[in-house]
């Protein structure tokens, strides 16, 4: 190999390492974002922001209300889509 081919090969290897690193980093960021959103959603519907020692009825009322709100929102989207699309 001459010097030019060696430089081209080195640049190709460096570019491949950079692409591999970018792929790894983007998967980590995407996975952690998804995990964070999933965890926040789970905690919201489980009423984790309410404290059990204060009032267990408040916790169950929050859970039922949040679930009912989700069902209502989904039903509303289906109704609007069926009516206007």
Residue-wise pLDDT for 41-51, tens only, equals 999 898 888 87
User: What's the burial of 66, exposed, middle or buried (CB within 10 Å: 0-12/13-18/19+)?
Assistant: middle
Q: Give me the pLDDT at residue 28, please.
A: 61
Angle among Cα 18, 11, 24 to the nearest 5 degrees reads: 10
Average pLDDT score over residue span 16-28 = 77
Q: Average pLDDT of 25-41? A: 76
pLDDT of 5 over the 80 cut: yes
C-alpha–C-alpha distance, residues 32 and 24, integer Å:
12
Q: Which two tokens stand for residue 2?
A: 């001459």
**The whole model's pTM is what?**
0.58
Whole-angstrom Cα distance, residue 64 to residue 72? 12
């Amino acid at each position: 190999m001459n010097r030019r081919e060696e430089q081209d090969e080195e640049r190709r290897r460096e570019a491949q390492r950079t692409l591999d690193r970018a792929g790894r980093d983007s998967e980590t960021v995407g996975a952690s974002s998804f995990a964070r959103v999933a965890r926040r959603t789970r905690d919201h519907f489980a009423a984790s922001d309410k404290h059990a020692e204060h009032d267990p009825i408040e916790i169950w009322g929050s859970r039922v209300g949040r679930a009912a709100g989700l069902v209502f929102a989904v039903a509303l989207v289906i109704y609007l889509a069926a009516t206007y699309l």
